[in-house]
């Protein structure tokens, strides 16, 4: 075991500052850093200021507790007296179950293009035989992100059970918000009081139709525009745990990490486990917290800089019924509407005539495509559109050539006990080199044979009893890394390729997978009424240009509800817009209207996909206000939608937030957005011709809106004058 030694000197504190955020760390002594403040920027602090802040934050001893104050480090340790959830749990054949880390170095490291300050803390516990490395970064958007790595330096295997990091939240954080849902109803908000104890959200599916995604703690009643809050996100596409914890001595935290299955991480001597990044945001209201994520994502080199193309996905138009004439006709109509990308979905390969067979055999079906995919791809490119293709690389049907040849490649705890099937499929164990090579090589063969600009990457089942048959060991962690590696290899081999993350809709949209993907499919539900709230929940993490939203059939295939074309198109208008509808069956007047919507989206998408996302806090929840304000506040587009009937006859005055209070704005209806009913007395209402008001008036007083029936909306364009 290595003896602790100070590799470099460091100050007794760090004050990291960027974009209105301060993270003040107490580094005095040999223990892991403690947080003196995380939240609104405190400005420049002198050494004496920090000394006094440290003194101000010390708790006095409490009856029936430890005689000295209990410090809460970024990684919580029971050895310090912390009686909440410890940050690291594990053992070495039953020993070394508790750590007491001594810091050996704190060093500022080179930053990336989107990082304001980055610090690495190294520490060791020589008795337990474990080294720790903490990465702490303050991003230019004001996000804090952290991750930890542990190395076994002792003799014998160390079984790691959990590695969680935390940041404290103030006692004023009285309410918790996180997200939940199901297929077709993802990312619904749920709230409850932040009481004593642990509010734990675990995702054991390796995807997240019902995952927390974001967990926020804030003042009671915090909303989109008001109320101080703090939030955490675990950037990992496997199993995760996120929790809020409040102890009886007053400490409250937001924490998280990877959820490790039993025996999944067993570290031999000198082996290292690195946990996922945890992202922490704060703000006055959910919009400000979300904007920090959006600005970070937009600052990355891998964020798409090209205009997001309007696309058509043919799934709900043809499902598995692939015929060249029909698919060409869809391309012809799409091109006439101004569509810029065409995506061929499930059913082009192997024996895949329905969802019961063929998955895993990534070879073009000669039964359906006797001349290969060339005829449809050439036809699409002939219209000037990009071509995209659907894959589900991690999955396999038992009724497939690959599964029959290699049943040992199925992800399962035992050879004689496969997991229950879901959508008639199992999971291919990509941790087996031969299975990984099979998928990679078949995909690369398709991508090299044809000109394909885009992959829709699906993931349609939960991971259950996900292990390697030959060893009986759990394999979710390694399977997740293998999926990342496969994406990375394809992107490196095919420069310019784009990947969409889909998982029965929006089941995999974390910032781990989004380091490789430029778009997510928010939900398999294209019902615009459901989409209003699904996409609101999604906006807490992702900006609109990364969220696929499609204009679907007049009658929703998932809910059976009928909606007007204006409501369907107006809902998808703000995001990465697309179509999922058999437009060959549409009436000419429907196509003309859809063409108007697409033209208007193209005209404004630079604003829609670069501005700040804003939501209103209208008191009547029958009405939903959201929009985008340009970064310089010179322009904005808002929608007011009636999502249900209201006991009131009209919405009343609707405040328009997020504008520059000192500027005057011209407010006009955005055609072809619905404008509601005209006044019955025949007089002209303001929304017929527009009005001009200062931003502070629009925010503090608002404007009356036209009467809106349920599932009707009005779009407004605001420009500074």
- Residues with a catalytic annotation lie at 458, 524
Residue whose token pair is 């009986």: 472
Return the biggest CA–CA distance within the chain: 87
The candidate with the shortest Cα–Cα distance to 519, out of 547, 544, 495, 543, is 547
Are the C-beta atoms of 218 and 229 separated by less than 8 Å?
Answer: yes
Q: What is the C-alpha separation between 484 and 395, in angstroms, rounded?
A: 15
Tokens representing 643 are 């999502």
Tokens representing 333 are 């109509």
Where are the extended beta strands (E) located within 275-354? 277-284, 311-313, 341-344
The candidate with the shortest Cα–Cα distance to 36, out of 46, 27, 47, 26, is 26
3-state class of 116 per DSSP?
strand
Q: What is the C-alpha separation between 53 and 28, in angstroms, rounded?
A: 13
Q: What is the C-alpha separation between 396 and 398, in angstroms, rounded?
A: 6
Q: What is the C-alpha separation between 308 and 601, in angstroms, rounded?
A: 11
Residue whose token pair is 């091109």: 335
Instruction: Give the single-character DSSP code of 268.
Output: P
Q: Which residues of 306-338 are buried (b: 16+ CB within 10 A; e: fewer)?
A: eebbbbbbbbbbbeeebeeeebbbbbebbbebe
Chain Cα centroid distance, residue 339: 26
Chain Cα centroid distance, residue 58: 37
Tokens representing 467 are 């292990």
The candidate with the shortest Cα–Cα distance to 72, out of 35, 39, 99, 100, is 35
Q: What is the C-alpha separation between 220 and 200, in angstroms, rounded?
A: 20
Long-range contacts of 37-44 (CB under 8 A, 24+ apart): 38/144, 38/167, 38/168, 38/230, 38/280, 38/282, 39/170, 39/228, 39/230, 39/282, 40/228, 40/282, 41/17, 42/15, 43/17, 44/15, 44/17
Q: What is the C-alpha separation between 646 and 234, in angstroms, rounded?
A: 38
- Answer left, alpha or beta for residue 252, where phi above 0 means left and psi between -120 and 50 means alpha: beta
Are the C-beta atoms of 650 and 679 separated by less than 8 Å?
Answer: no
Tokens representing 122 are 């190294």
Q: Which residues partner with 624 through β-bridges?
A: 641
The candidate with the shortest Cα–Cα distance to 603, out of 706, 673, 542, 698, is 673
Are the C-beta atoms of 245 and 255 separated by less than 8 Å?
Answer: yes
Q: What is the C-alpha separation between 467 and 429, in angstroms, rounded?
A: 8
Kindly write down the DSSP assignment for every residue of 176-189, as one continuous string. EEEEE--TTS-SEE
Tokens representing 2 are 């290595």
The candidate with the shortest Cα–Cα distance to 432, out of 391, 471, 458, 484, is 471
Cα–Cα separations (whole angstroms), residue 526 to 148, 315, 522, 563: 39, 12, 9, 11
Q: What is the C-alpha separation between 175 and 189, in angstroms, rounded?
A: 13
Q: What is the C-alpha separation between 716 and 193, in angstroms, rounded?
A: 36
């Amino acid at each position: 075991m290595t003896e602790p030694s100070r590799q470099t000197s460091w100050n007794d504190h760090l004050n990291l500052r960027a974009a209105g955020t301060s993270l003040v760390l107490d580094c005095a002594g040999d223990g892991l850093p403690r947080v003196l403040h995380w939240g609104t920027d405190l400005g420049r602090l002198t050494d004496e200021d920090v000394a006094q802040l440290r003194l101000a934050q010390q708790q006095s001893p409490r009856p029936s507790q430890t005689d000295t104050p209990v410090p809460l480090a970024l990684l919580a340790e029971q050895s310090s007296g912390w009686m909440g959830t410890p940050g690291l749990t594990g053992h070495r054949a039953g020993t070394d179950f508790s750590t007491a880390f001594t810091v050996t170095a704190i060093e500022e490291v080179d930053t990336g293009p989107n990082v304001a300050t980055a610090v690495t803390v190294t520490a060791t516990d020589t008795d337990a035989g474990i080294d720790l490395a903490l990465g702490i970064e303050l991003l230019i958007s004001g996000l804090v992100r952290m991750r930890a790595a542990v190395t076994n330096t002792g003799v014998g295997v160390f079984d790691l059970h959990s590695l969680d990091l935390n940041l404290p939240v103030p006692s004023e954080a009285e309410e918790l918000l996180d997200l939940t849902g199901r297929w077709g109803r993802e990312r619904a908000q749920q709230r409850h009081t932040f009481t004593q104890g642990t509010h734990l959200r675990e995702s054991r599916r390796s995807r997240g139709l019902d995952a927390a995604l974001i967990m926020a703690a804030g003042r009671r009643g915090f909303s989109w525009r008001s109320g101080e809050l703090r939030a955490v996100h675990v950037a990992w596409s496997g199993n995760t745990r996120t929790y809020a914890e409040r102890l009886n001595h007053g400490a409250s935290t937001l924490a998280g990490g990877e959820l490790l299955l039993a025996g999944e991480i067993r570290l031999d001597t000198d082996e290292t486990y690195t946990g996922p990044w945890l992202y922490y945001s704060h703000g006055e209201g959910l919009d400000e917290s979300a904007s920090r994520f959006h600005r970070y994502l937009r600052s990355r080199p891998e964020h798409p800089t090209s205009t997001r193309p309007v696309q058509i996905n043919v799934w709900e138009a043809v499902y598995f019924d692939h015929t060249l004439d029909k698919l060409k006709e869809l391309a012809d109509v799409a091109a006439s509407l101004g569509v810029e990308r065409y995506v061929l979905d499930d059913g082009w390969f192997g024996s895949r005539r329905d969802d019961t067979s063929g998955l895993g055999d990534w070879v073009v079906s000669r039964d359906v495509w006797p001349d290969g995919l060339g005829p449809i791809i050439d036809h699409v490119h002939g219209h000037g559109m990009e071509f995209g293709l659907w894959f589900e690389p991690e999955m396999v049907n038992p009724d497939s050539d690959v599964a029959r040849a290699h049943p040992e490649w199925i992800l399962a705890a035992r050879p004689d006990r496969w997991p229950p099937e879901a959508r008639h499929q199992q999971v291919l164990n990509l941790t087996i080199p031969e299975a990984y090579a099979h998928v990679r090589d078949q995909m690369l063969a398709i991508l090299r044979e044809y000109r394909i600009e885009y992959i829709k990457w699906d993931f349609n089942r939960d991971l259950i009893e996900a292990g390697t048959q030959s060893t009986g060991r759990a394999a979710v962690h390694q399977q997740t890394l293998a999926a990342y590696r496969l994406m990375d290899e394809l992107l490196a081999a095919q420069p310019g390729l784009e990947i969409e993350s889909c998982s029965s809709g929006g089941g995999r949209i974390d910032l781990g997978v989004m380091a490789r993907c430029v778009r997510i499919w928010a939900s398999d539900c294209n019902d615009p009424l459901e989409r209003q709230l699904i996409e609101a929940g999604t906006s807490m993490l992702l900006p609109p240009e990364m969220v696929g939203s499609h204009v679907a059939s007049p009658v929703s295939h998932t809910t059976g509800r009928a909606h007007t074309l204006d409501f369907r198109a107006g809902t998808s208008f703000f995001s990465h817009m697309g179509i999922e509808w058999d437009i060959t069956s549409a009436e000419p007047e429907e196509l003309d209207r859809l063409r108007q919507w697409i033209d208007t989206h193209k005209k404004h998408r630079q604003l829609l996909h670069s501005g700040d996302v804003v939501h209103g806090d209208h008191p009547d929840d029958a009405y939903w206000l959201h929009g985008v304000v340009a970064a310089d506040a010179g322009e904005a587009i808002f929608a007011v939608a009636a999502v249900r009937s209201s006991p009131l006859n009209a919405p009343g005055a609707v405040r328009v937030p997020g504008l520059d209070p000192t500027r005057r704005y011209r407010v006009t209806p955005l055609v072809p957005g619905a404008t509601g009913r005209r006044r019955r007395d025949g007089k002209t209402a303001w929304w017929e011709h527009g009005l001009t008001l200062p931003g502070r008036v629009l925010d503090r007083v608002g404007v009356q809106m036209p009467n809106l029936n349920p599932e009707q909306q009005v779009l407004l364009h605001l420009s500074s004058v």
